[in-house]
Amino acid sequence: MSITLYHHPFSRASTVVWMLEEVGVPYELRWVDMMKGEQKSPELVAKNPMGKLPILTDDELVVTEVAAIGLYLADRYAAGRLAPNLDDPARGTYLRWSFFAPSVVEPGSMAKAAGWDFKPGQAGWGEYAAMIDAMASAVTGRDFLLGAQFSMADVVFGGTLRYMLGFGMLEARPVFVDYVERLNERPALQRAEARNAAIRKEHGLDK
Ligand SMILES: N[C@@H](CCC(=O)N[C@@H](CS)C(=O)NCC(=O)O)C(=O)O
């Protein structure tokens, strides 16, 4: 196993550092100067035709899309710990919120922020208020999405929620604030934050 994450600290790759720290496998970070557009270089477009970060390689395998990277890493290297086993019904909840983040929360937030004109009944992300209520329902009355057990779904969904709360894109309901506080206590998140901060400093990005 040889895992490389093509990384820039201002990209979603910073969430993948958290994923890797949760999983606990060795990995290497490869600096990509996103501000200079290096993600559009022929070498990286050959790996991700979208010309975007993050890109994770595991030997010859290429995985893109933050949620897919998280689910891949959990299934392959932390099954039963960060991902419910295939025959565990908790997997339904795990997958539900893992997919909700990129397929509903991301476009729903963008639609709201950019003032898109769309028909909620036709758009997969629907009404913004319903989306927020659904997010709240996912974390009400439990510590993590699966209950007491933290999982990779909390990095995928919780990472998105935490980002939105941090940037004032989500109303600070107590249920969101409390959930993010629990996430912030994760030693793996703290290690990832430290690593991302060190890279920002190394590249003079903290101005
Ligand atoms: N759906 C993708 C989103 C990837 C994405 O938008 N990455 C941004 C950084 S967070 C990017 O590379 N932007 C630079 C560009 O598009 O040139 C995922 O979940 O990984």
- What domain range is 49 assigned to? 3-80+189-202
Cα-flanking dihedrals φ and ψ of residue 30, to 5°?
A: -110, 115
Is 67 found in the same domain as 105?
no
Q: Starting at the edge strand that comes first in sequence, how are the strands of the sheet with 55-58 ordered? A: 27-31, 3-7, 55-58, 61-64
HSE-CB at 13 with a 13 A cutoff on CA atoms is 29
Q: Along the chain (207 residues), what's the average pLDDT of each consecutive run of 10 residues?
A: 95 98 98 97 98 98 98 98 98 98 97 96 97 98 98 98 94 97 98 97 90
Please report the atom of ligand 1 found closest to the CA of residue 52. Answer: 12
Nearest alpha carbon, ligand 1 atom 10: 11
- Whether the Cβ atoms of residue 23 and residue 74 lie closer than 8 Å to each other: yes
Give me ligand 1 centre to Cα 13, in Å.
Answer: 9
- The token duo for 188 is 């793996």
Q: Are residues 179 and 193 in the same domain?
A: no
Please indicate, yes or no, if residue 69 is contained in any of the structural domains.
Answer: yes
What pLDDT, on the 0 to 100 scale, is given for residue 149? 98
SS3 content of the chain, % helix, strand, coil (to 5): 55, 10, 35
- The per-residue pLDDT for 206 is 87
CA distances from 133 to 129, 156, 170, 172, 199 (A): 6, 18, 11, 13, 36
C-alpha 120 – ligand 1 centre gap (Å)? 25
Residues 146 and 165 placed together within one structural domain of the fold:
yes
Between CA 125 and CA 118 the distance in angstroms is 10
> Ligand 1 centroid to 142 CA: how many Å?
31
Do 99 and 22 share a structural domain? no
**Residues 94 and 180 placed together within one structural domain of the fold:** yes
Domain count, the chain: 2
- In a domain, residue 207? The reply is no
pLDDT for residue 81:
98
